[in-house]
Amino acid sequence: MEKANYKIAVVPGDGIGPEVVREGLKVLEVACKAEGVDYETATFDIGGERYLRTGETLHDSVLEELKQFDAIYFGAIGHPDVMPGVLERGILLKLRFALDLFVNLRPVKLYPGVECPLKDKTPDDIDFVVIRENTEDVYALEGAAFQPNTENEVAIQPAIYTRRGTERIIRYAFELASKRALERGKPAKVTLVDKANVMTVGHGLWRRVFEELAKEFPEVETEALYVDAAAMEFVLHPERFQVVVTTNLFGDILTDLGAAIQGGIGIAPSGNIHPGKVSMFEPVHGSAPSIAGKGLACPLAAILTAALMMEHLGEAKVAQRIENAVAKALQTGKIRSLEAGKMGMSTQEVGDLVASLV
């Protein structure tokens, strides 16, 4: 069989993006060598620095170029000198929408050796995945202002939900729950998180689609929680979750909470996925400009993000190697904290440690 030679587009981006991506690529290289997997990378200069220099966020021609790759490995974007929204909408959300990356997959996993902020919770209790819808909700439309900056100002910020969009993300969650349950020898479960008691129209659609699809997956246990209760349950009873499926905005908020309970945003990876198409992988954290370039950022999120990318490409062994190396590194006790600046090691030293354990 001919060996794949993956083409990976690398977008280091702004702030701590470049330094954590460097460590991710370092670990990826060792893991791919060990498994005999070939790949090539091309680095793209996209982000706030470039925007300030050229006025360009993400040109359509660059988007077309990116579509020729097997995957995109993304650091972070965000710049203190750029107004909020410009880079987010112009780059990150544009990529999610244009590539129709409808799944935002965010594992919440407490690794042994990581300090958990929740009392009495162990790695057995915190191991689930949040499937965040990634193309609709309040993110999809920019909204409208009526008579802005006057006394009559009206701001309209609509949320949209389509049946097709709702169905494909919920179906993805059910399929993932079945797969994970088989792998773990546990019963499958999907938890829907919404606010159907208030957003009766939009989240009413989500509830109906969820109930319809549940019939197609009789082997999967289902439950539905309102988002306020779900936030509480993330903290009190994380062990009840296996696969959580939720809307775009709630998923955004809940996955920062998810990151916190797994030990911090420094270890939370994510994938923006369209099955079978070019997908984009990025740490949950942002560009953290205040600590950029100082070697203070934790690269584990970026490293685990590389693992998610390889799993998506069908290279489960490479992914497992990377994850195992991270787990081993955490168990050495050498990494004192996952909080930026408190690791007791530099960004590069953490990367070196993980790479040495691949």
Whether 124 is catalytic is no
Q: Per the structure block, which two tokens stand in for 227?
A: 């988002």
Shortest distance, position 102 Cβ to Mn ion, whole Å:
17
Residue closer to ligand IPM, measured from CB, 139 or 206: 139
Whether 51 is catalytic is no
Which residue, chain included where needed, has tokens 């030679």?
A: 5
Which residue out of 6, 139, 161, 172 is catalytically annotated? Answer: 139
Choices 118-126, 190-198, 245-253, 302-310; region in contact with Mn ion by CB under 5 A: 245-253
Draw the binding track, 101-140, toward ligand IPM (x: CB under 6 A; -: no contact). ----------------------------------------
Which residue out of 33, 179, 228, 294 is catalytically annotated? Answer: 228
Best CA proximity match to 135, nearest among 177, 172, 108, 175: 172
Which residue out of 179, 256, 277, 294 is catalytically annotated? Answer: 256
Shortest distance, position 313 Cβ to Mn ion, whole Å:
24
Whether 139 is catalytic is yes
Which residue, chain included where needed, has tokens 């997956």?
A: 217
Tell me if 353 sits within 8 A of 336, measured CB to CB: no
Q: Which of residues 170-229 bind ligand IPM (CB under 6 A)?
A: none
Q: Per the structure block, which two tokens stand in for 119?
A: 């009392």
Whether 81 is catalytic is no
Residue closer to ligand IPM, measured from CB, 191 or 287: 287
- Cα–Cα distance between 22 and 4 in angstroms, integer? 23
* H-helix segments, the chain: 17-35, 48-54, 60-66, 86-87, 94-98, 163-184, 202-216, 227-236, 248-261, 300-312, 316-331, 347-356
For residue 92, the partner it binds in ligand IPM, Mn ion, none, with Cβ less than 5 to 8 A by kind, is ligand IPM
Residue 99 as a binder of ligand IPM (CB under 6 A): the answer is no
Tell me if 251 sits within 8 A of 106, measured CB to CB: yes
Residue closer to Mn ion, measured from CB, 175 or 252: 252
Residue 92 as a binder of ligand IPM (CB under 6 A): the answer is yes
- Cα–Cα distance between 38 and 177 in angstroms, integer? 31
Kindly provide the b/e burial profile for residues 232-248, where b requires at least 16 CB atoms within 10 angstroms of the residue's own CB.
ebbeeebebbbbbbbbb
Best CA proximity match to 192, nearest among 253, 131, 246, 257: 246
From 70, 252, 282, 315, residue interacting with Mn ion (rule: CB under 5 A): 252
Task: Give the total of residues touching ligand IPM (CB under 6 A).
Answer: 4
From 35, 49, 88, 233, residue interacting with ligand IPM (rule: CB under 6 A): 88
Q: Which of residues 47-66 bind ligand IPM (CB under 6 A)?
A: none
- Cα–Cα distance between 38 and 7 in angstroms, integer? 9
Whether 125 is catalytic is no
- Cα–Cα distance between 333 and 355 in angstroms, integer? 16
What residues are labeled active site? 139, 195, 228, 252, 256
Binding site for ligand IPM (CB under 6 A): 88, 92, 252, 284
Q: By the criterion CB under 5 A, which residues form the site for Mn ion? A: 252
